[in-house]
Structure 1
Amino acid sequence: MKNLIVLFAFVLFAATAQSQSLTQKDVTGTWLVVNVENSNSNPKMAAAMGNAVINLYADNSFEVKERQGNGPAYTYNTTTNKNATWSFNQSSQTISTTRSKMTLQISKSGDKTFFTDKDSGLKFEVMKPI
């Protein structure tokens, strides 16, 4: 009976861990930054990333578009370097980019998804708009 309980607990833990892990296919796409946490750690970057769009394309190209505050509601300016690329490490749940040298740790809490920039400490709540 004790072995059965241990086995059940292991299966439950493994299923929970697996359900929170994302694949490269899950990560690929357009992500809208809906909230920036820990904005005091880097106020300038936090302000720039508010309502930004992060595009992780299937061909592994990468771009960040910042929403322009002085223009129409949907005017964006691309701020990443040309030919920037990204890669995904499924075991560590991290996105690494070239050119901008960002490393984003992906985490989930309930139905929310977060990208945390390892360098600045900023935590971006993101969602796929479609």
Structure 2
Amino acid sequence: MKNAIMLFVLALFATSVHSQSLTQKDLTGTWLVTNIENSSSNPKMAAAMEKAVINLYADNSFEIKEKQDDGPYSYKTTTSKNATWTFNPSTQTISITQSKMTLKVSQSGGKTYFTDSNSGLKFEVSQPM
């Protein structure tokens, strides 16, 4: 009976871990930065990324657009024109070419986060409807 319970617990744990994994298809699209956690670790980058838009296109091109102060819908693209992204599902990381940016993807409490491995900033992101 103990073995059956342990097997059930292990299966339940494996299912919950698997359900938290995202795929490249899940990540493709537009992501809005809605909140930045631990912004004091890199205040300059945090200020630039506040309300930024991260585009992960299906053709694997990539761009970040930073919100500008001169209007409600004014954005400036701040990434290299030829930047591309790749996703590693086993590590749940997005790697960006043309830069050393690597984003660790995670989910918690129904929210999605991209954590920049270089700066340590954790961006809460959401996809617009």
TM-score normalised by L of structure 2:
0.98
SS at match of 1:21: coil
| Aligned pairs, number | 129
Partner of 1:99: 98
AA aligned to 2:99 is: S
SS at match of 1:48: helix
Partner of 1:85: 84
Partner of 1:58: 58
AA aligned to 1:7 is: L
Deviation of 1:18 (Å): 0.6
Question: Structure 1 stretches (4+) deviating beyond 6 angstroms?
Answer: none
AA aligned to 1:86 is: W
AA aligned to 1:41 is: S
AA aligned to 2:73 is: Y
Deviation of 1:28 (Å): 0.7
AA aligned to 2:53 is: V
Runs of 5+ consecutive residues of structure 2 not aligned to the other structure: none
Deviation of 1:38 (Å): 1.1
RMSD: 0.6
Runs of 5+ consecutive residues of structure 1 not aligned to the other structure: none
Percentage identity across aligned positions?
70
- Distance in 1, matches of 2:81 and 2:100, equals 13
Q: Could you give the per-residue CA deviations for residues 4-32 of structure 1, whole angstroms, max 9, x where no partner exists?
A: 10110011001100110000000111000
Deviation of 1:110 (Å): 1.2
Partner of 1:116: 115
- Distance in 1, matches of 2:65 and 2:19, equals 30
1:127 and 2:119 matched = no
- Distance in 2, matches of 1:66 and 1:102, equals 16
- Distance in 1, matches of 2:99 and 2:37, equals 21
AA aligned to 1:74 is: Y
- Distance in 2, matches of 1:114 and 1:99, equals 22
Deviation of 1:45 (Å): 0.4
TM-score normalised by L of structure 1:
0.97
